[in-house]
Amino acid sequence: MLNFILAVVFTVSLYLIMRSFTKYRVNPLHAVIFNYYTCVAMGLALMPDRAQYFSADWTSTPTLLTLALGTMFIIVFVLIGFTTTKVGVTAASLAGNMSLVIPVLFGLFVFKNNNKEFTFWNYTGLVLALTALAFSTLKKENTDRTAKNGWILFLPVLLFLGSGTNNTLINYISATFYKPEQSALFTALACTGAILVGTVFLIFKVLTAREKVSGRSILGGLILGFPNFLSFYFLLGALSDFGNSAAFVFPIYNVLSMLMSAFLAWVFFKETLQPLNKAGLVLAVLAILLISYQEISAAF
């Protein structure tokens, strides 16, 4: 469970740092691109044999798929930015959280890599987890702009599909092509793909749109890379610990991250919760109990 807990802790740390970007005038896109440089450096630092990275076959199927996953990291972030600005924070948060249904369904019915037989109560927990995540993100927002521009309603759909594809690829590629002790290699290669695409995109923006890159955005990105890498690294460890069971890992991971984020956002940023949001937190706890009741009973 240590990998599970650490994955949640560093994921929440990631959210809190990004939440502070506005205060310190950090460009989120620039920061995310530079954060992957830290991720690759940390991957190399934690790699038992760095020769694995430098001698990797860059044209092999596993490496190309891993680099493509890094490309998805950047694409999903851009979709988050567009969805947030064009549709709203609620829509972006809801689409990202609900996307867990894609790796869960693939894990249950395509990969069939669950480490236990799912019961009625486990499936009920999955439904409650989705409901809890929806309740936790629903807030009153002005939706006039979506009514005027119907095309932007497709942005949450694209974000939903992109985030779900990301998590599904993480589960599939790590389980199929990498050993548990190669988590650092997998993470470093994926982040290398993100660096390649992100840097090319940033250079294009600088040359065509005269976009300036500030030192604070670079520094913010390099700092962001620490929790970003560690959250991904320990999530891979959690998947490995539980037999790459996406149906077990992702719902609990998302729900725990949401619970801790809501609490710390209230502590540090004084964010308030509406009654529906509070109901979502209660449902989240119940969902965790139902999804993992076999493991809990075995522990006692």
d(CA 85, CA 199): 23
| Neighbouring residues of 117: CB distance < 8 A, sequence distance ≥ 6 | none
Give the pLDDT confidence score for residue 87 in this predicted structure. 64
Half-sphere CA count of 29, side-chain side, radius 13 A:
19
DSSP 141-203: ---HHHHH-GGGGHHHHHHHHHHHHHHHHHHHHHHHH--GGGHHHHHHHHHHHHHHHHHHHHH
Asked whether the predicted pLDDT for residue 299 surpasses 60, the reply is no
Instruction: Name which residue leads in pLDDT, 101 or 165.
Output: 165
d(CA 175, CA 169): 10
Nearest to 105, CA basis, from 88, 85, 127, 74:
127
Nearest to 182, CA basis, from 76, 1, 49:
49
Stretch among 45-49, 64-68, 163-167, 277-281 having the lowest mean pLDDT? 277-281
How far from each other are the two terminal CA atoms of the chain, in whole angstroms? 15
Instruction: Name which residue leads in pLDDT, 272 or 210.
Output: 210
Give the pLDDT confidence score for residue 229 in this predicted structure. 92
Asked whether the predicted pLDDT for residue 143 surpasses 50, the reply is no
Asked whether the predicted pLDDT for residue 158 surpasses 90, the reply is no
Asked whether the predicted pLDDT for residue 142 surpasses 50, the reply is no
DSSP 8-state secondary structure symbol assigned to residue 94: H
CB 74 within 8 A of CB 194: yes
Pseudo-torsion of CA 135, 136, 139, 143, nearest 10°?
-70
Domains in the chain: boundaries: 2-299
Q: What percent of the chain has pLDDT over 70?
A: 85
Neighbours of 180 (CB within 10 A): 13
Q: What is the pLDDT of residues 260-280, one digit of tens each?
A: 877 887 788 776 777 887 887
Asked whether the predicted pLDDT for residue 195 surpasses 90, the reply is yes
**pTM (2 d.p.):** 0.79
- In the three-class reduction of DSSP (H, G, I as helix; E, B as strand; rest coil), residue 278 is classed as helix
CB 92 within 8 A of CB 159: yes
d(CA 67, CA 76): 15
Q: What is the pLDDT of residues 60-84, one digit of tens each?
A: 999 999 999 999 988 887 787 677 6
Instruction: Name which residue leads in pLDDT, 19 or 166.
Output: 166
Dmax (CA) for the chain in angstroms is: 61
Q: What is the pLDDT of residues 10-41, one digit of tens each?
A: 988 887 888 788 888 899 889 989 999 999 99
Q: What is the pLDDT of residues 213-250, one digit of tens each?
A: 999 999 999 999 999 899 989 988 988 888 877 777 87
Give the pLDDT confidence score for residue 107 in this predicted structure. 75
- Which alpha helices (DSSP H) does the chain contain, by range? 2-19, 28-46, 51-54, 61-86, 89-98, 101-106, 120-137, 144-148, 154-177, 183-209, 215-241, 246-269, 275-291, 293-299
